[in-house]
Amino acid sequence: MTEPAPHTFADLSLIKRIIPHRYPFLLIDKVRDIVPFESAVGIKNVTCNEPHFQGHFPDEPVMPGVTIVEAMAQTAAIVVGISLNVIDKPLATYFMGIDGVKFRRKVVPGDVLEMHVKVKRGGGKIWKFEGQALVEGQLAAQAEFTAMMDLKA
């Protein structure tokens, strides 16, 4: 296993060097407090310009719960990318399971969504995480999720 890259913060440029997601499905703007093999905090600035708000819902825009869970997973993928030092390498990430998902408050345009992700098990191809999405310190969503990380040759 390679040494973790010496990053505790990932801006949008570094995020795009680790995960393949792009508009309209790149759901994190930056990641801070990265501790390889342990945890990180992803940041999503929620704006009214996001495409899902056209239909969810036109008169009362609410960020879909599945996109909140996906934002947690993208944050987790950054932890893995930094931990395994796979910057600029083709790392594919696939959900294997999502458990204990609960939604506690609406996330709306103007909110800053913080995804607090912790590694429960990792180091190889299969990683397990727990995540909480917070807005102004209030729990918006929580989940445990498992993913397979596949480094394409």
- 76 is a domain residue: yes
Instruction: For residue 91, give the nearest of 31, 18, 39, 27 by alpha carbon.
Output: 18
Six token digits for residue 79: 């932890």
- 7 is a domain residue: no
pLDDT tens per residue, range 103-145: 999 999 999 999 999 999 998 899 999 999 999 999 999 999 9
Give the integer Cα–Cα distance in Å for 42 and 114.
6
| Full residue range of the structural domain in which residue 138 is found | 12-151
- 99 is a domain residue: yes
Burial environment of residue 81 by CB neighbours within 10 A (0 to 12, 13 to 18, 19 or more): buried
pLDDT tens per residue, range 66-101: 999 999 999 999 999 999 999 999 888 899 999 999
- 1 is a domain residue: no
- 3 is a domain residue: no
Name the active-site residue from 7, 21, 56, 116.
56
Is 52 one of the catalytic residues? no
pLDDT tens per residue, range 10-58: 999 999 999 999 999 999 999 999 999 999 999 999 999 999 999 999 8
pTM of the model: 0.95
Contacts of 151 (CB under 8 A, 6+ apart): 84, 86, 89, 90, 91, 92
- 106 is a domain residue: yes
* Number of domains comprising the chain: 1
To which H or E segment does residue 42 belong? strand 39-45
Q: What is the pLDDT of residue 152?
A: 75
Domain containing residue 89: CATH number: 3.10.129.10
